[in-house]
Amino acid sequence: MNQLITSILSDINVCLPGVVQAYDGRTVTAKPALPKQLANGQTLAAPLIVAVPVCWPIADGGQAMITVPLKPGDPVVLHFSQRSLENWLSGSDQAPDDPRQFDLSDAFATPVMRPGPVADTENLTVQYGPGSLKLAPDGSLTVRVPRQHVIAQETIFDSPVTVNGLLTYTAGMAGSGGSGSSISISGGASFEGGKIMHNGKNIGSDHRHSGVQTGGGTTGGPV
């Protein structure tokens, strides 16, 4: 009886670690990472499985989505459906036409599932190459990237922003705020209360000079 159960189970595929061989943005060609041990002691090499759908976290009718680039050699988890998937992959939720179960041809893959390096035990972390994003339990966000390119119709910051590196803008700068609003720039220049200041002196269009005399002399500094 036990041998019969073992024989039956040996033909059932449930879940296996796999390795990506090729990826086209929708499906992978994958190979199970482990060969199969036969009852007679021989080893059966893992086959290539083609056109395996890749499943990503998707919600809100497809508007919300998270993906990562997959390259040959990347790990995936191969799940083998207990029903044939042709109709489902075509958009139908009707009963499948083929009675097969747990077949290699009905695999679908979920990526990035493999024990990896030591993880950050305190923060939610996203990392790709030299770039990383860390969200701490207190809500603070730390982004480390060689270069940041933001494309947005509008960007709103509801808290103070500190720029430690060079700030370059190409389409001008505009702002509004109360009398207490200010922008400081290294070298003594600042925008304070709607006035352009340098070392505490108003140098805008409404500034005034002291020591003004008629004739060809020059004025004193701004007051």
pLDDT at 65: 92
What span, in angstroms and rounded, lies between the C-alpha atoms of 26 and 52? 8
Burial 189-218 (b: 16+ CB within 10 A, else e): ebbeeebbbbeeebeeeeeeeeeeeeeeee
Q: Kindly list the domain boundaries of the chain, sorted by start residue.
A: 2-111, 124-202
User: Contact, 202 vs 195, CB < 8 A?
Assistant: yes
The architecture of the domain spanning 2-111 is Beta Barrel (2.40)
pLDDT at 182: 66
pLDDT at 150: 85
The continuous run of DSSP H or E covering 5 comes out as: helix 2-9
pLDDT at 29: 97
Encode the chain (223 residues) as per-residue pLDDT tens digits. 555 555 555 678 889 999 999 999 999 999 999 888 777 778 888 899 999 999 999 999 889 999 999 999 999 999 998 888 877 777 777 777 777 887 888 899 998 777 767 888 899 999 898 999 999 999 999 999 998 888 888 888 887 777 777 777 777 666 665 555 666 666 667 776 667 777 778 777 677 777 666 666 656 556 5
What span, in angstroms and rounded, lies between the C-alpha atoms of 120 and 47? 36
CB atoms within 10 A of CB 54: 19
pTM (predicted TM-score): 0.65
DSSP secondary structure, 125-155, as one string: EEEETTEEEEE-TTS-EEEE-S------S--
Token readout for 124 is: 């939610």
